[in-house]
Structure 1
Amino acid sequence: LPFYNSEEERKHGREQKLRREKFLAELTQAVAQNFLLEGKHEDAIPAALHSLKFSISVHSSNAVELVPAYLILAEAGLGLGHLIQAEEYLSQAQWIILKNSHCSNAIQSDFHRNLGLLHAAKGNFEDSLYHLANDIYFSSCAFGTNHMAASGGYFHMANVFFRQNRMDIADSLYTEVMNKTGLFKSHLMS
């Protein structure tokens, strides 16, 4: 650490350090998210851990800003089949969400989607459907009922119904996904 001669220099140094750590938290979170989108779950973990570390340093260990990093870590764990690890990260995220009443609908949507996927992977289909329904609710609150963000919840619910061999419901949900993505594409073109 650099040596500062005055309180003003120390304050300026702390502010610069805080800005750097905030930037690094956001950058490493974006990198981790990109790795997940590419299906590189193992590569997402170090970036998400760095994002978590910098976010803790900037905010605190119970701040809602940590939840996205925990959700990325949980999603990476799910992608690798490490269900216990994913469940631990989701528990950390849930604890923070419960302690912070100002958690956004988008974050709650992501949380319930991951929890629904965890329960589906464990074969707990009723719990999975409950959380995926909450995902749809919160994404609709955050983005609107016709937004493409809700289509992920519908898609995962359809997959659960498909695994239960309830094809009529699965087909109707797959159709809903197609309608939402079609609306989104037509909205982009206009």
Structure 2
Amino acid sequence: MATGDKDHHKADWVSIHQQTCQLLIPTRTSLPCPTTERERKRGTEQLLRRQKYIIDAAFSTAQELVWAGKHEEARPAALHALRFSIEVYGSDSLQLLPAYLLLAEACAGAGHLPEASQYLSQAEWIILRTPDCSAAVQHKLHRSLGLFCAAKGDFEKALYHLANDVYLASSTFGLTSIEASGGYFHMADVFFRQNKVDIANSLYTEVTSAWHSFLLKSLQAQQQVPKSRPETSVFTEDREVSEEPLTEAQQVEGIRVLNAILDIREQAPTQQPGETARVLHALAMLHYLLMDVPKARELGLKAFELLKQLPQQESPEPLGYLLALMNVEPSSTK
């Protein structure tokens, strides 16, 4: 066996086989013929459950590896998710889209752009064959296409796809949703790479605002602020507060996006204390929700020090509430 084949086999085993090898055996071997219709139905249902479990395990493993920046290691697991999805749902099912997009992201991240292009083409073909495909699904394809074009350096085409991403996500989740903000963030990155800094900064502000609002609502839900008295809450918003906890994907995206914007704000030639404080406040809330109180306290205090430099441009009340939750007295800090 060639060295490359050994390395691929090792990555394949580490990423997915250890989780699913026992389940793979009954899906790949012939079982005794069932004697009754009831046994046949039960066997079919059991096989389907195992296949779906393998799909979920493989996809989750690949997703976590991509989030960790281990794109090459993610490819075998993503391939398992795709292969079993095809077995369960058929070769042209919309259910294959997540696996195709994840495979494309893993391949692009590992530098295999032609392979990534093939998977994106398959995903695009599936959506074209599904005329009633929802905007919530289509926006994910456009985001993947936009990121792929940006990786190739085709910035105009990247902006075209990312603009479609924002439009479709906004029509489904709302103009100020964090789903739509993802497209804005990637558009800002493209403009930044084109040295169109003013446009990029404007979009980064939109992204920060969306996350800030979302995290305020999440913190409100966690602290069970009475909905019947919104006028007394420091988190008053127009939309109803979501009681759903942050998903793992939202946690990862929030940390990545907000830290990237914070780096840009802190390294900018012209400082904007208000914008930097807003990013810091959002990150502090996110870390608090993730139960990393020391980091939340550090970020919250940095935000408070910046807000003190501003002539009443932004109310410090929500930030003060967050610091109070952590038993921090910012007025006594130096």
The alignment's TM-score, normalised by the length of structure 2, stands at 0.55
Unaligned runs of 5+ in 1: none
SS at match of 2:73: helix
Match of 1:2 in 2: 31
Q: How well do the aligned residues superpose, as a CA RMSD in angstroms?
A: 1.3
Equivalent residue in structure 2 for 1:18, among 26, 41, 48: 48
Alignment of 1:11-90 (within 5 A): 11-90=41-120
Equivalent residue in structure 2 for 1:106, among 107, 116, 136: 136
Shift of 1:125: 1.1
Shift of 1:78: 1.6
Supply the distance in 2 between the matched residues of 1:104 and 1:48 (Cα, whole angstroms).
Answer: 23
Match of 2:208 in 1: 178
SS at match of 1:145: coil
Indicate how the Cα distance of structure 1 residues 158 and 186 shifts in structure 2: closer, same or farther if over 3 A, else same.
same
- Equivalent position amino acid for 1:43 in 2: E
Shift of 1:26: 2.1
Match of 1:144 in 2: 174
CA deviation profile, 1:30-66 (whole Å, cap 9, x unmatched): 2211221122212221111111111111110000000
Shift of 1:136: 0.9
Shift of 1:188: 1.0
Match of 2:190 in 1: 160
Supply the distance in 1 between the matched residues of 2:132 and 2:99 (Cα, whole angstroms).
Answer: 17
| Count of aligned pairs | 190
CA deviation profile, 1:116-157 (whole Å, cap 9, x unmatched): 011111121111001001111122223222211122111110
Shift of 1:107: 2.3
Structure 1 or 2, whichever has the larger Rg, is 2
Moved over 3 A (4+): none
Supply the distance in 2 between the matched residues of 1:138 and 1:159 (Cα, whole angstroms).
Answer: 19
- Equivalent position amino acid for 1:116 in 2: G
Supply the distance in 2 between the matched residues of 1:23 and 1:138 (Cα, whole angstroms).
Answer: 30
Supply the distance in 1 between the matched residues of 2:70 and 2:171 (Cα, whole angstroms).
Answer: 30
Checking the alignment, whether the CA contact within 8 Å between 1:162 and 1:170 is kept in structure 2 is yes
SS at match of 2:191: helix
Which is worse superposed, 96-105 or 110-119? 96-105
Checking the alignment, whether the CA contact within 8 Å between 1:36 and 1:76 is kept in structure 2 is yes
Indicate how the Cα distance of structure 1 residues 53 and 12 shifts in structure 2: closer, same or farther if over 3 A, else same.
same
Supply the distance in 2 between the matched residues of 1:151 and 1:13 (Cα, whole angstroms).
Answer: 45
Match of 1:135 in 2: 165
Supply the distance in 2 between the matched residues of 1:33 and 1:109 (Cα, whole angstroms).
Answer: 18
Checking the alignment, whether the CA contact within 8 Å between 1:68 and 1:107 is kept in structure 2 is no
SS at match of 2:31: coil
Shift of 1:27: 2.3
Unaligned runs of 5+ in 2: 1-29, 221-334
The structure where helix makes up a greater share of residues is: 1
Which is worse superposed, 119-128 or 90-99? 119-128
Identity of aligned residues (%): 54
- Equivalent position amino acid for 1:32 in 2: A
Match of 1:116 in 2: 146
Shift of 1:8: 2.8
The alignment's TM-score, normalised by the length of structure 1, stands at 0.94
Supply the distance in 2 between the matched residues of 1:119 and 1:179 (Cα, whole angstroms).
Answer: 27
Shift of 1:80: 1.3
SS at match of 2:87: helix
- Equivalent position amino acid for 2:166 in 1: I
- Give the number of the structure with larger relative contact order, counting CA–CA contacts within 8 Å between residues 6 or more apart: 1
